[in-house]
Amino acid sequence: MVNFGGWDMPVEYSGIISEHLAARTAAGLFDVSHMGEIEIRGPRALDLVQTVTCNNAAKLAIGQAQYSGLMTSQGTFVDDLLVHKVSDTHYFLCVNASNQDKDFEHIRSHNKFGAEVENAGARYTQLAIQGPKALGILQRFTNVPLDPIKYYRFTFGKMNGVDCLIARTGYTGEDGFEIYFSPEHSEKMWFDLFEAGKPDGLLPCGLGARNTLRLEAGMCLYGHEIDDTTTTWEANLGWICKLDKGDFLGRDLLARQKERGVERLLVGFEMQERLIARDGCPVFVAGREAGRVTSGSPAPFLKKNIGMAYVPASMSAPGTPIHVAIRNNQAAARIVETPFYKRPK
Amino acid sequence: MYPSDFRYTKEHEWIKVTGDTGTVGITDYAQHELGDVVFVELPKVGAKFNASQSFGTVESVKAVSEIYSPASGDVVETNTALADAPETINKDPHGAAWMIKIRLTNPKELSNLMDAAAYQAYIVEKEKEASA
């Protein structure tokens, strides 16, 4: 068990590799109750969401979710998050555990819209069930037809007799669901899903597999790829930054940086030798130290050693050779396209 | 669980001595703490190490760990099979996953190491600390 944002969480249950492979080939069950929830309500709830985030929440239909960034006035990340539109006057945000209180204060400090902002983390348990068998396992617990819920859509319904927000979202690169419900049902829900999924090869997954799965899927982790010094453009997250949606925090700086171009860019790389790049290892491009590995790990499904790092934008093209300092070695690596892993459709 | 003819270090290596040669590996406790081992880096035959000096590296998916020599000596053989099958370290840490054999240059050092009973007691303490 490790302490993670104040939560005692297992790094692994049966082993990171078996858990990772279960999520890719069958199903993985993740207790992600540590994730924070912030709810914004009121006639001008959308205005507040639009002010503090960089994606265009006005485009959301009711029952739709979007990946977004909670921005500083400098156009850097306070956090990354999922914005769910529950109704025209109610938005449900899922944020990182360790950022929840900071996020809440940040949103509140920009609330010129009379919206009600609730730090609601204590009211929710979140479980993620991910992988090709996730839908089939979950469907046994609900009358809500799950297949019609499209990717990044959600609905409300009973799951195992418990009122849930049921979202087709995840952090693994697989199909799957994240469900949010009242914490008193946590244990029963966990064990019932676990027992039901066992014959299908479902395994409980810890923080270790959560990290390797998201890394293979090329997804950012706050505090690693993104933080309050990185911008959307640098992090290759331009697709969640909508300058034309109207004003929002950091928009001017982001617009200027877009025009000027970025100096550094987040890329994925693959080791060309057996050494494993780890978080913090220095990265060399064209013989010069360019930065540090933001995340580095063996990729259990791809059976490669992969990582992400910031490199000079002028030398960020896929195929570019780089070196990673690992102990006393300058280990060869190559910039590759991300995501490293894409699930078969 | 922990063979009685091995001696153990506080860093969770074991050594089995036959004549003037010691066979070295990491303990079951160590492999369990590391989790799935995916990489091991061992020294070359002929390399010399002092007791408690790092002679290699073992990496799991989640962590990197140095391996320390339980005693001073010269490496006479390494387990080259581990390079292609590092998972052997999880499966058979006290047997097939031995790492190096050293010719002992100061066998008296062995008396500084724990026997199986002392090591067993030591890891019980470790586990208590971890769950406290």
This complex has an ipTM of 0.89
How far is it, in rounded angstroms, from Cα A187 to Cα A191?
A: 6
The mean pLDDT value of chain A amounts to: 97
* Mean per-residue pLDDT, A125-148: 98
pLDDT of residue B129 exceeding 90: no
Q: Is A298 on the interface with B (CB under 8 A)?
A: yes
Which pLDDT tens digit goes with each residue over A213-235? 999 999 999 999 999 999 999 99
Instruction: Test B61 with A11 for CB contact under 8 angstroms.
Output: no
pLDDT at B128: 87
- Residue B1, in any domain of the structure: no
CB B14 within 8 A of CB B27: yes
Instruction: Test A208 with B35 for CB contact under 8 angstroms.
Output: yes
The mean pLDDT value of chain B amounts to: 96
In the 8-state DSSP scheme, what is residue A61?
A: P
Percent of chain A with pLDDT over 70: 100
pLDDT of residue B130 exceeding 80: no
pLDDT of residue B131 exceeding 80: no
b/e per residue A276-287 (b: at least 16 CB within 10 A)? bbbbebbbbbee
pLDDT at B7: 98
pLDDT at A35: 96
Give the domain CATH number at B28. Answer: 2.40.50.100
CB A161 within 8 A of CB A100: no
> Which residues in chain B have their CB less than 8 angstroms from residue A208's CB?
35, 61-62
pLDDT at A31: 97
pLDDT of residue A345 exceeding 90: no
pLDDT at A9: 86
How far is it, in rounded angstroms, from Cα A95 to Cα A67?
A: 10
pLDDT band at A18 (very low <50, low <70, confident <90, very high): very high
pLDDT of residue B126 exceeding 90: no
pLDDT at B12: 97
- Which one of A3, A4, A8, A12 would you mutate to disrupt binding with B, by most B Cβ within 10 Å of its Cβ? A12
* Mean per-residue pLDDT, B17-36: 96
**Closest-CA distance of chain A to residue B83, Å:** 10
Q: Which fold has domain A263-345?
A: Elongation Factor Tu (Ef-tu); domain 3 (2.40.30)
If DSSP codes are grouped into helix, strand and coil, which group holds residue B58?
strand
pLDDT at A8: 85
**Residue A106 structure tokens:** 């940040």
Q: Exposed, middle or buried: residue A199 (CB in 10 Å: 0-12, 13-18, 19+)? A: exposed
pLDDT at B127: 85
pLDDT at B90: 97
pLDDT of residue A97 exceeding 90: yes
CB A193 within 8 A of CB A29: yes
How far is it, in rounded angstroms, from Cα A10 to Cα A333?
A: 31
Closest to B56 measured CA to CA, from B70, B13, B65? B65
Instruction: Check if A2-214 and A263-345 are the same fold.
Output: no
Listed by start position, the domains of chain A span: 2-214, 263-345
Percent of chain A with pLDDT over 90: 96
Residues 6+ apart with CB under 8 A from A89: A41, A42, A43, A45
* Mean per-residue pLDDT, A260-288: 96
Which pLDDT tens digit goes with each residue over A240-260? 999 999 999 999 999 999 999
pLDDT of residue B36 exceeding 90: yes
**Closest-CA distance of chain A to residue B60, Å:** 9
**Structural domain boundaries, residue B68:** 6-131
pLDDT at B132: 66
Q: How many domains does chain B have?
A: 1
pLDDT at A32: 96
pLDDT at B75: 98
Which pLDDT tens digit goes with each residue over A185-203? 999 999 999 999 999 999 9
**Residue A276 structure tokens:** 């494993």
In the 8-state DSSP scheme, what is residue B1?
A: -
The CATH superfamily holding the domain A2-214 is Probable tRNA modification gtpase trme; domain 1 (3.30.1360.120)
The neighbour count for residue A207, using CB atoms within 10 Å, is 21
- Which one of A275, A276, A293, A302 would you mutate to disrupt binding with B, by most B Cβ within 10 Å of its Cβ? A276
pLDDT at A305: 98
Q: Is A9 on the interface with B (CB under 8 A)?
A: no
